[in-house]
Amino acid sequence: MTELKNKIEQLYESNASITEFDIEPIQHELISNLNIGKIRAAEKHNGIWKVNEWVKKGILLMFKYGKLKDWSMENGFTYFDKNTLPVHPFTLEDSVRIVPGGSSVRTGSFIAKGVICMPPMYINIGAYIDENTMIDSHALVGTCAQIGKGVHLSAASQIGGVLEPPGARPVIVEDDVMIGGNCGVYEGVLIRKRAVLGSGVIINSSTRVYDIVNEKILRADNGLPLEIPESAVVIPGARSIHTEFAKENGLSVSTAIIVKYRDEKTDARTAIEQALR
Ligand SMILES: CC(C)(COP(=O)(O)OP(=O)(O)OC[C@H]1O[C@@H](n2cnc3c(N)ncnc32)[C@H](O)[C@@H]1OP(=O)(O)O)[C@@H](O)C(=O)NCCC(=O)NCCS
């Protein structure tokens, strides 16, 4: 992959005028390797997540230099997108269930065996979704998001995309996490394995998370986005604002609260319905 990496870095830094003919040689290699999960926008080494900046730069090149193309099919289905960004190619052997009805999976994303995609849902370029994850209706897996094994992305949960700057960490959701209905996870937040976001939790890198079990406040730190600890059960909360004006008007801002760490009751509430798989 070193050669591909070097070519992408060169093109990305180049001030010369770049055309689709410069992009073509890297397009196939980049997209096909993203499609099979051989390259990823971020990877875990010895417990630490590292961003592969060159992969994100490659994706940015696809957006920037792709030309609008008519991808319409003879059966009357019409759509128009950049020539560098068609839909993901699937075959029956991929063992991915895509229930019909308004879902779309952009090429340059990896969807492992056993993943279930309920309509309508959308998976963007650079996303990596590991085995047996469920993506429920109205869920979004944004650009470069890294989703682990056995994750449940409930209905209307939004996993934000992080493409720029190329060095910025994407949103990462580790194995066996449950993201409840109507949750939103943005700006490179990392959800460690087996954590649970109760319905309606919205977090980004500005959100303060109050861990009432360990009596700690968690925040983004040292340039690293917010991290939710392993097995934490997070619910939506509010904290009061202490300025005179805010006090007079009884104002508060939303926050997130770690109310407990996973126990048998949580496991029972979040158990994956095997019958549906
Ligand atoms: C978090 C969740 C899994 C419950 O886990 P649990 O371990 O059984 O937690 P408990 O029910 O014991 O709740 C612990 C405390 O948090 C509160 N709480 C839990 N979830 C909450 C939520 N989403 N909003 C507000 N409070 C919540 C409970 O009221 C309880 O407070 P209390 O101790 O003062 O009574 C569940 O509340 C939840 O949000 N599930 C997701 C459901 C969902 O979105 N499904 C998707 C369908 S598509």
Q: What confidence tens digit (pLDDT) does each residue in 73-119 have? A: 999 888 889 999 999 999 999 999 999 888 999 999 999 999 999 99
Query: In the structure, what pLDDT confidence band is assigned to residue 266 with cuts at 50, 70 and 90?
Result: very high
Token duo for residue 232? 């934490």
264 CA to centre of ligand 1 in angstroms: 13
* Confidence check: pLDDT of 229 > 70: yes
- Integer Cα distance of 255 and 58 in angstroms: 35
Query: Which residues are within 8 A (CB) of 5 and not within 5 positions of it... i.e. 6 or more apart?
Result: 54
pLDDT at residue 222, rounded to an integer: 81
Given CATH 3.40.50.150, say whether it is the number of domain 2-70+84-206. no
- Domain extent listing, the chain: 2-70+84-206
Query: Which residue owns the Cα nearest ligand 1 atom 31?
Result: 259
Count of all residues that appear for the chain in the document: 277
Q: Is the CB of 237 under 6 A from ligand 1?
A: no
- Cα–Cα distance, 247 to 127 (Å, whole number): 43
Binning pLDDT at 50, 70 and 90, where does residue 275 land? low
Closest to 109 in 3D by CA, of 62, 60, 39, 48:
39
How far is residue 69's CA from residue 125's CA, in Å, rounded to a whole number?
Answer: 17
In short, whether 166's Cβ falls inside 6 Å of ligand 1 is no
For 168-188, what is the mean pLDDT? 97
Integer Cα distance of 129 and 114 in angstroms: 10
Cα–Cα distance measured from residue 151 to residue 171, given in angstroms and rounded to the nearest whole number:
14
Q: pLDDT at residue 277 above 80?
A: no
Neighbours of 111 (CB within 10 A): 26
Residue 127 vs residue 273, higher pLDDT: 127
Whether 202 lines ligand 1, by a CB cut-off of 6 Å, is no
- Distance (Å, rounded) from C-alpha 33 to C-alpha 152? 25
Q: Is residue 199 in contact with ligand 1, taking CB distance under 6 Å? A: yes
Dump strand ranges (E) for 52-147. 68-70, 80-82, 97-98, 104-105, 110-111, 116-117, 122-123, 128-129, 134-135, 140-141, 146-147
